[in-house]
Chain A
């Protein structure tokens, strides 16, 4: 099975009649890994919810393989930003949930769930309840559950935010490994510029202006400075807006460091 293509056509999304994303045009080719970058509150999660079929468009269209998206489907798995594990199920049973809904025969679920947990480094924690796991471990269980669903499009909402640098790198590697085995389209939301450079075939920066649209788009050869510039561009109150943002850290880290822009492609090969 190959990846789904996703498409947003002049789409406006929002809650209770108030738009959060306005008139967005976005194409995600089948099998592409698109990174969506943007400050918090700009509508990244909202966009993923629309692709997942959880949020109907206020206007415009959202399409998967050319067909309008009318509701959720196991084809398009969403890895939530919030803690979305069922707290009464152990890590293993949470992963089994994805298998059960895919109608994997009962007898094969346990072994397969344990295999996925082992791949995210939680082989020994299969029997533990979510409340007995740390935030980063819960994120990895959710990653295992999302991948176990065998989706054709994986929608990931800041999936590695709670992980330490080392675990984060190994999860990024795992994601790329899984994609090599079972090609899927990925929309990967992050506010981490380095992660964007590392993973993305293409990076889209959602605008800081509220409600947001695409502010800038880069193919695989974007540089760190270009992305940082795009994140800050067109923003009259840049410093204030950055104040309570996780972006601020990245921006500060980046500025004094790099003279030579790093190429995304180079990094990808290094992984």
Chain B
């Protein structure tokens, strides 16, 4: 089947899910799971329409985006830099690797108390948690990508007169990009989980905070609008990372032409 023929199927699948949702909520269905108080798609769309006309909705989005992008960019830069350093320098590996191994199993969201103690402002704490979440996937995938580089690329640059920095710039950094982007995709996913959770726990604005707020005042359509917003933002940011990754690694063999 070609691409065009697959779109109707995909759209139909989404529409069918919406229809089922509408039916079970309209019928106030209760069989162990209870839909009697659950908002239907019409309620949610109405609430959504109401919210997008308010400045507050967009401010919350902007706030959450600033937090996640700050944490994510810090994690990307430091994750790649330290991943390369620990993989290429024995000294850096000996100093840093034990610290990372100890810190890595701690879920970033468990750092909330630490963040509250450490940082003067809430804002920095949330960014810190987001950073911690995205950092380790980037670090680990970068390390593995560096270790997996074919030695012959490095040897080629060295025999052409490249030194340590030449190799780093011309072989290591471009060569690890496919692996790094794997880590960035995962990092973006966990960064959203953590920024939303942190906002729910300790925020005073942002999409996560607003969603939790709606729950505490029994505004269920508001909760679902918040969730849908988070979903859309997550999808948009992940797609951006994917797209950037594909653009920067065009040289990889494509599907169907692998040798």
Task: Enumerate chain A interface residues (CB-CB to B < 8 A).
Answer: 52-54, 71-74, 76-78, 80, 82-89, 97-98, 101-102, 129-131, 145, 149
Contact = CB atoms under 8 A, between A and B. Distances in A.
Given A52-B155, A54-B159, 16 more contacts: A52-B159, A53-B159, A72-B155, A74-B161, A76-B159, A80-B152, A80-B155, A84-B156, A86-B157, A86-B170, A88-B177, A88-B249, A97-B160, A129-B251, A131-B253, A149-B160
Given A88-B251, A129-B251, A131-B251, A101 B157 contact: yes
Contact of B153 (A53, A72, A84, A101): A84
16 contacts: A54-B155, A54-B158, A71-B158, A72-B158, A74-B160, A80-B152, A80-B155, A80-B156, A84-B152, A85-B156, A86-B175, A87-B251, A102-B160, A129-B251, A131-B253, A145-B160
B53 interface: no
A86 B149 CA distance: 11
B162 interface: yes
Contacts of B166: 101
- What secondary structure prevails in chain A residues at the interface with B? loop
Nearest to A87: B251
State which size class the interface on B falls in: 20 to 34
A84 B151 CA distance: 9
A194 to B, nearest CB: 28
Contact of A82 (B152, B160, B177, B252): B152
Interface of B: 152-153, 155-162, 166, 170-171, 174-175, 177, 249, 251-253, 257
Contacts of B155: 52, 54, 72, 78, 80, 84
Contacts of A78: 155-156, 159
A71 B158 CA distance: 9
A76 B175 CA distance: 25
A23 to B, nearest CB: 25
A90 to B, nearest CB: 9
B153 A131 contact: no
Most buried by B among A72, A98, A129, A145: A72
A76 B166 CA distance: 17
A73 B152 CA distance: 15
A130 B156 CA distance: 15
Contacts of A97: 157, 160, 170
Contacts of A72: 155, 158-159, 161
Contacts of A101: 157, 160-162, 166
A131 B174 CA distance: 16
Nearest to B254: A131
Nearest to A155: B159
Contacts of A54: 155, 158-159
A145 B153 CA distance: 13
A84 B257 CA distance: 20
A82 B153 CA distance: 10
A76 B158 CA distance: 10
A49 to B, nearest CB: 8
